[in-house]
Amino acid sequence: MSAVIDTAAKPEVITFTEAFSRALHDAMEMDPAVITLGEDIGDEEGGGIFKVTKGLSTKFGTDRVKTTPISEQAIVGAAIGASLAGMRPIAEIMLMNFITVPMDQIVNHAAKLRFMSGGQTHVPITIRTRTGAGAGTGGQHSDMLEAWFAHVAGMKVVVPSTPADAYGLLLGCIFDNDPCLFIEDQLTRTQTGPVPVKGEIIKLGKAHIAREGTDVSVIGYGRPVRDAMVLAEKLAAEGISVEVVDLRTVSPLDTETVLKSVAKTGRAVVIHEAPRSFGCGAEIAARIQESLYSELKAPVLRVASRDVTVPFSRVLEAAYLYQASGIEAAIRQTLEKRAAR
């Protein structure tokens, strides 16, 4: 199924923001244990800086929808505590860089309480956060830090690449029984896609073949997957068949689906927005070569952003960010290797 952006004025599309919002409304309607908290999220405060939580406090009351002080440790801690008592809290951390503040709560507690308690307790929380470079927000409002959390056992990390996935995966996080980090991209928030089916949960931990192909597997999550889908369409005209593997859940990684795809194509390009070094791409590339070394027709390549602080100037920011042209070049490079053999 193609997830290519369709900007034509059809009635049956929604934006990412609408999808996030719908998921929250539907989850709160589906289960009274679902509660949410975060900075500015109530309607009195405008329904959140990004309007994702708009209408929630009016509809579900300010007991279940709590505007908080700017206190990220208290926000995540309260979510953890409430989850231990049987609730399904959704904590909004306005921007991903602010998640550095409650790292203790997330890493030492949310991720580990199930294991350290021998399974007596668990922490079914969802932390929603927003980030992404390209909007001129500079060094402390743009970082993709998903690799930090993917590195911690017990955490689940989810990044959607279409509005419909955003809806289904956010529900998946909310109704999952482990702590989930759900990352919303600030650059594509107004982009649209097909409308999801109400109440349809996408189960976590399963990658999605967003486009089938036979020559090369492009593996990623979030915004770069959208670029890969456009590229795949373009390259198809040249007779290059690109398979796009949308991980959906970054961690735990669906290794099986990734390996199956690469076993078929023999070539892999791993893509992400986060900086290249020590990123999730390195882990994915390592798993591929560990299992498929002898079947690979070319080295596994990575396309990612530069290992620098996200700059402010648009010129520099563009130089920082991974480029669709870079993904295209990597795809072509893996195919050249075939020719070289």
Partner 1 sequence: MNKSFTPATLLEIYRKGRLINLIDERFRGLLRSGRLAAVYYSPRGQEILAAAMGVHLQQTDYLVTTYRGIHDQLAKGIPLRPLFAEYYAKATGACKGKGGPMHITHPETGVMVTTGIVGSGLPIANGLAWASQLKKDGRVTLVTFGDGASNIGAFHEALNMASLWKLPVIFLCQNNLYGESSKYAKCTAVDNVAERAAGYNMPGVTVNGNDPEAMWRASGEAVARARAGEGPTLLEAKTFRFMGHYFGDPGAYIPKEEYDAHLARDPMPIARAAVLSSGAATEAELAAYDDEVNAKIDDALQFAADSPFPDVSEIDIDVYGAAA
Active site residues: 141
102 vs 266 by CB, closer to partner 1: 102
203, 234, 314, 338: which one contacts partner 1 (CB under 8 A)? Answer: 203
Q: Least distance to partner 1 from the beta carbon of 75, Å?
A: 8
The DSSP-derived string for 9-47 is: --TTEEEHHHHHHHHHHHHHHH-TTEEEEEET-SGGGTS
**Among residues 113, 166, 219, 285, the one that binds partner 1 under rule CB under 8 A:** 113
Residues from 40 through 69 that contact partner 1 (CB under 8 A) = 63-64, 66, 68-69
Binding residue for partner 1, selected from 119, 238, 293, 341, defined by CB under 8 A: 119
Of residues 74 through 93, those in contact with partner 1 by CB under 8 A are 74-87, 89
Q: Which listed residue (54, 114, 130, 211) binds partner 1 by CB under 8 A?
A: 114
Dmax over CA atoms of the chain, in Å, equals 65
Cα–Cα distance for residue pair 252/117, rounded to 1 Å: 21
Nearer to partner 1, 155 or 280 (CB): 155
Site residues (CB under 8 A) for partner 1, limited to 218-277 = 252
Contacts 24+ apart (CB under 8 A), 293-298: 295/262, 295/263, 295/266, 296/262, 296/266, 296/267, 296/268, 297/266, 297/267, 297/334, 297/337, 297/338, 297/341, 298/266, 298/267, 298/333, 298/334, 298/335, 298/336, 298/337, 298/338
> Could you say whether residue 100 binds partner 1 (CB under 8 A)?
no
Q: Which of 31, 44, 58, 115 binds partner 1 (CB under 8 A)?
A: 115
- With CB under 8 A as the contact rule, which of the stretches 1-9, 199-207, 242-250, 256-264 interacts with partner 1? 199-207
Regarding 35 and contact with partner 1 (CB under 8 A), the answer is yes
> Checking phi first, is residue 206 left (phi over 0); if not, alpha (psi -120 to 50) or beta?
beta
In angstroms, the CA 116 to CA 135 distance is 40
Give the binding site for partner 1 (CB under 8 A). 35, 63-64, 66, 68-69, 71-87, 89, 104-105, 108-109, 113-122, 153-154, 156, 172, 175-178, 203-205, 252
